[in-house]
Amino acid sequence: MKIIGKVATIIFKNDKNNWTVLLLKQNSDFITCVGETDEIEVDDEIELEGDMVTHKVYGEQFKFISYKKVLPQTTSALISYIADNIAGVGKKTAKNIVDEFGEDTVNIIRFSMDRLYGIKGLNAEKIERLNEFFNTEWEKWNTIEYLSQFQISTVIANRIYQAVGKDTIDIIKENPYSLLGFVKSLDFKVIDEIGIKTGIALNNPDRLDNGIIYAINKITEFGHTCVEKENLLNYCVELLKVDDADISQAITRLVLSEKLFVEKINMQEYVFRQSMYLAEENIAKSVIEHTRFNVEKTDTEKLINKVCKNTDIILSDEQKKAVDTCLNNMISIVTGGPGTGKTTIIKCIIDILEEKKKNYVLCAPTGRAAKRITQTTGKEAKTLHRLLEISKVDDSDIDMFYEYKVKQVEDDVVIIDEASMIDLMMMNNLVKGIKPTTQLIIVGDVNQLPSVGPGSILKDIIASDVVPTVELKQIYRQSAKSDIIVNAHRVNDGLYPEFRNKDTDLFFISTTSVEETIDQIESLIAHRLKTFAKLDVLKDLQILTPMKKTELGTIELNEKIQNILNPESIDKNQIEYASKIFRDGDKVMQIVNNYDKKYSIEGKFFEGIYNGDIGYIRNIDKKEEKLYVEFDDNRLVVYEFDELEQLEHSYAITIHKSQGSEFDYVILPIFTGYKKLLTRNLLYTAMTRAKKMLVIVGNRNVVNYMVDNLDSKNRKTGLEEKLINLLYENKNK
């Protein structure tokens, strides 16, 4: 359905995602329209394509999927268009121009502006203004209209025009694939449709090269840094509809230009995109270089005894070995499951470093993880982003993240906790920021979920056996009493968890359907938990779930739990934003790192709100269009309404989002879901998030399936191989 009208009012515009609410005038009628727009103004004549829908709060509105500016088609429309857009040129002068040149008016203005000097009401300045406007605005909207025939949205089309300029249409007709070099966010499949429609041959080199880059990017989206050459070849043959000889030739061409790299791993050829190969190579060089530097030897026995005496802690032989390894090597790793004393070791190392007057910095991959280290050690911890002063970068833009210039770290020792969360590009930036003489202590549980981004850094470095590593296996006395910890270790060892459901901190509630699972969760939240535990359900309880979608995903669970714990009330302000209702008292999470966002504590202002920070909405001020959130440590943050895409409800969060965090009470629904997602280390990670109580609700067979499913541990990466090869090369020099 298409409608045409004039923009009467722009009610709302989010500059970050282009979401717009506007009032369109059609004759004497007004229609509320919603959708994405770019560079649109009041009085613009536009054509919208979409459908009439009924919104549950705002009623009937036109939801458009695309729009275009309607360029004047008649003499009277052209007169109005000139008068409305050119300062100092009224309708009388505009009519003089159109009367003089008729159908050639636009071409005269654009290409023969000298002929305008005879028109009454025009001077040199106005003629220059006319020429400039028509050579930019007219060309831009012609380009947008041309691209609309290929189902490219106005927002994307405008982005293309801004990058390429007035020659966009000619460039598209000659070689549409060149657009991918100008605008990185463009989807190859969209451009490929243009290419095919404009007659580009299927085996055109530009088409094949860009198609292969697109293919390897898609294949490596799930954490891999490389792909088997044979698999890439087969995938590209199907994707691009050409012979395998064409693909092989194109891969060779891309390798020769160093846009792709090929490496043999276990006698099989793997293909890497440029930035991932170079990042792995850089990490391997730095790690090996660290192992070759000697550290000033420390008599750890004396220092450990002194620290233990001062702090009333007792270290086992295993823990003493870990401390000694960390202090007497330029790079070292400590790994182990819950209850094995990793935090105790970090505390001891810090005390010894302070005794030796060494400068050190504590850090972690996320804000939540950094905060937890601060709480457990009593020492300030930074995120890796903050340590390296990485800001205003799109983490999903792998190439930009690879090339990022980071701050150089001047501390003697860098201690990283929760290292299983470090991805390839963050580790690459870390090694760029430290010197070979910087002592690096890496602590983490290698059996936790791998990083969200590509790579399996901790696992690969340990597997290479090039870095001194201590694996902690002993569960200490207090932790050994916890069924949560004991069963988390069982799961990690491939054994099914044992549920006693009596005198325990681990409970299992069996259900036979999704509906029953939801009923049990709602019952626990509403009243049952309070009967046998003293807790503030809103603050002390966290629902963890494997996924965002489905009835047991965060989106639907958050809506259900919000209705139980924070129902609608005349006493509470609320606002709808992007299909979510935010209400006074809601539990919310910051979902992006925002290093520039200011917050206040008791009237003093600071900067930095991090992905994973959880807080509560204290007030929604509709008049000022501001929403106030209080995060942990009494940090009060003010959000403009157009910043609310940074927030999500957090009554329920994904297990991935919970990494690096701990919660007193956890409910974990496990009944159904995407099988590849339901893995052993997902279950293990979820179980180790609970401190005082864990309640698993769902299907025992699915729990057992997760224990048996090792799928996510099989990321294809090349770091382990590079480390081993580089160590061998250095030994044989």
- Tens-place pLDDT, residues 564-605: 999 999 999 999 887 889 999 999 999 887 777 888 887 788
Return d(Cα 428, Cα 455) in angstroms, integer: 11
Structure tokens at 336: 């182990």
The sign of the CA dihedral 248, 250, 251, 255 is positive
How many other CB atoms are there within 10 angstroms of residue 573's CB atom?
15
Neighbours of 334 (CB within 10 A): 29
> What is the residue-wise DSSP string for 465-497?
T-S-EEEE-PPPHHHHT-HHHHHHHHHHTTPPP
Q: Specify the 3-state DSSP secondary structure of 70.
A: coil
What tokens were used for 117? 């000097």
Q: What is the mean pLDDT of each run of 10 residues along the chain (733 residues)?
A: 88 78 88 85 83 81 84 79 84 90 87 88 90 83 80 78 82 85 78 87 92 88 91 94 94 95 93 94 95 84 86 87 94 93 92 92 89 89 88 64 87 95 94 93 92 92 96 78 92 93 91 95 92 87 93 93 93 87 94 81 80 91 92 87 90 91 93 85 94 94 93 83 89 70
Q: What per-residue confidence (pLDDT) applies to 258?
A: 93
Write out the two tokens for 426.
């963050």
Q: Check residue 396 and give its pLDDT.
A: 56
Q: Look at residue 144 in the predicted model and tell me its pLDDT.
A: 79
Look at residues 66, 24, 28 and name the one whose alpha carbon lies nearest to residue 45: 24
**20 closest CA partner among 48, 1, 45:** 48
Residue 528 burial (CB count, 10 A): 14
Token pair of 404 as six digits: 């990022």
Q: How far apart are CA 561 and CA 136, in angstroms?
A: 52
- Candidates 565, 558, 579, 574; CA nearest to 627 is 574
Provide the Cα torsion 609, 614, 616, 621; round to 10°.
Answer: 30
Single-letter residue type at 364: A
User: Under 8 Å CB-to-CB from 674, ≥6 apart: which residues?
Assistant: 546, 547
**Alpha-carbon gap, residue 349 to 328, rounded angstroms:** 11
Compute the distance between CA of residue 469 and CA of residue 140 in angstroms, rounded to an integer.
59
d(CA 379, CA 393): 28
**For 17-36, b where at least 16 C-beta lie within 10 A, e where not — what string?**
ebbbbbbbeeeeeebbbbbb
Q: Are 69 and 144 in contact (CB under 8 A)?
A: yes
pTM reported for the whole predicted model? 0.81
User: Which pLDDT score, from 0 to 100, does residue 560 have?
Assistant: 94
Query: What pLDDT was estimated at residue 230?
Result: 94
Q: Kind of pairing, strands 604-609 and 635-640? A: unpaired
What are the angstrom distances between the C-alpha of 490 and each of 487, 497, 498, 499, 688? 5, 6, 9, 12, 12
Task: Tell me if 463 sits within 8 A of 315, measured CB to CB.
Answer: no
How far does the chain reach from its first CA to its final CA, in angstroms?
A: 72
**What pLDDT shows up at residue 395?**
53
Among 376, 402, 372, smallest CA distance to 390 is for: 402
Report how far residue 359's alpha carbon sits from residue 390's, in angstroms, rounded to the nearest whole number: 22
User: Which of 142, 157, 149 has the alpha carbon at shortest distance from 18?
Assistant: 157
Measured CA to CA in angstroms, residue 315 lies from 120, 340, 471, 559, 592 at distances of 94, 11, 15, 47, 39
Q: Are 409 and 436 in contact (CB under 8 A)?
A: no
Give 238-282 as a DSSP string: HHHTS-HHHHHHHHHHHHHTTSEEEEEETTEEEEEEHHHHHHHHH
DSSP secondary structure code for residue 116 in this structure: G
The answer for residues whose C-beta is within 8 angstroms of residue 265's C-beta and 6 or more apart is 226, 718, 721
The Cα 389–Cα 392 span in angstroms is 10
CB 616, CB 629: distance < 8 Å:
yes
Q: Give the pair of three-digit tokens for residue 559.
A: 């809506």
pLDDT, residue 553, reads 92
Closest CA to 521 of 694, 689, 669: 669
